Every structure is written in structure tokens, then in C-alpha cells.
């Protein structure tokens, strides 16, 4: 069944995260926007996102599920299976990066850099995730990059605190 104009527009808007996916360096822009949103929520609102809260966990799972759905029709919407215009998966990966870590400006910057590194380099098995079918493959390579970034961030924070405690 063919999608209506409104449905196509809504799916494009969601998959491209309010059309950020149409900008140059869209993955980096969307990752930075996600980190910026987390910083804004941390500093300016009562929501105080924390990578350790149940609500943060649920938000991560919800964004992953929405990303699976929105990226699943990408060939029909964007003309190719894993279009650079689809950046909802970047949001999912960037959110995974900050699971179980305190959200501060320095942590956000480090997490952003680590996530972009692993998303671009795609070490084993990150690159293999792209082989999964449809929206799952589009999303899971970013989730895996987020896991690598998260583990690297946690190790870095533990090393920092251990060294700081001994000084």
C-alpha cells in the first residue's frame, strides 16, 4: 500500500530528525544536537536527564524502536537503504553513549567525540550490524558504536577518578 503525502512527510521528518539529515555532515550535526539537548535538559530544566535513570533507559529503548520503524522504509523514502538523511539512528547511538555515566559538559563532549569516532571507523563488529535487514541494520551499527563509546567513556572516567584520587 502506498503512503500518503502526509505519512511520507512525517516519516521523512522523523527519520531525518526534523530535517537535520538534509544538512551537510548530518550525522555529526545530529549527534551534536543530541548532546546539546542533553546539556540543555541538564542545565535549564527540571528534567535533569541522567544516564543512570530508568527514564533515560526507557527513552533509549523508545528511540531505538522508533528508529527501527522509521528507517525500515528508507529505500522508498530516500531512494537508498541507508541514506545519509536518516539520522534518527545517530540519536539512538548518542543516547546509548551516555548510559550509566553522569552528564556533565566535559562528559558530553568526550562522549560526542567517542561516538563519532566509533560511528565513522566502525570497528568489528559495528560494521557487521549494517548487514542486518532494513531499519534494524540502519540503527544497530549506531547502537553498537554507542556501546563502544559508552564503554570507552566509562573506562576513561574510572581512570580519571583513580588518577585524581592518587594526586
- What residues does each domain of the chain span? 5-166
What's this model's pTM, rounded to 2 decimal places? 0.90
- Judged against a pLDDT cut of 70, whether residue 47 lies above it is answered with no
Q: Give the pLDDT confidence of 107-132 residue by residue, as tens digits.
A: 999 999 999 999 999 999 888 888 88
- Per mean pLDDT, which range of 26-30, 57-61, 76-80, 147-151 is the poorest? 76-80
Q: What is the pLDDT confidence band of residue 46, given thresholds at 50, 70 and 90?
A: low
Contacts of 69 (CB under 8 A, 6+ apart): 135
| Phi, psi (deg, nearest 5) at residue 12 | -65, -40
CA-CA distances (angstroms) from residue 158 to 38, 92, 161?
22, 24, 5
Amino acid at each position: 500500500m502506498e503512503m500518503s503525502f502526509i505519512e511520507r512527510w512525517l516519516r521523512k521528518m522523523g527519520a531525518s530528525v526534523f530535517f537535520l539529515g538534509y544538512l551537510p555532515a548530518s550525522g555529526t550535526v545530529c549527534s551534536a544536537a543530541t548532546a546539546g539537548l542533553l546539556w540543555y535538559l541538564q542545565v535549564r530544566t527540571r528534567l535533569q536527564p541522567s544516564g543512570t535513570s530508568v527514564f533515560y533507559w526507557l527513552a533509549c529503548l523508545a528511540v531505538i524502536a522508533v528508529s527501527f520503524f522509521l528507517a525500515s522504509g528508507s529505500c522508498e523514502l530516500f531512494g537508498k537503504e541507508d541514506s545519509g538523511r536518516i539520522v534518527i539512528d545517530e540519536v539512538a547511538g548518542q543516547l546509548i553513549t551516555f548510559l550509566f555515566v553522569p552528564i556533565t559538559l566535559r562528559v558530553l563532549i568526550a562522549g560526542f567525540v567517542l561516538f563519532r569516532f566509533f560511528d565513522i571507523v566502525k570497528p568489528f563488529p559495528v560494521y557487521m550490524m549494517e548487514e542486518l535487514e532494513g531499519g534494524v541494520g540502519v540503527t544497530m551499527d549506531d547502537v553498537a558504536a554507542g556501546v563502544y563509546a559508552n564503554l570507552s567513556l566509562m573506562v576513561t572516567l574510572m581512570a580519571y577518578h583513580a588518577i585524581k584520587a592518587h594526586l
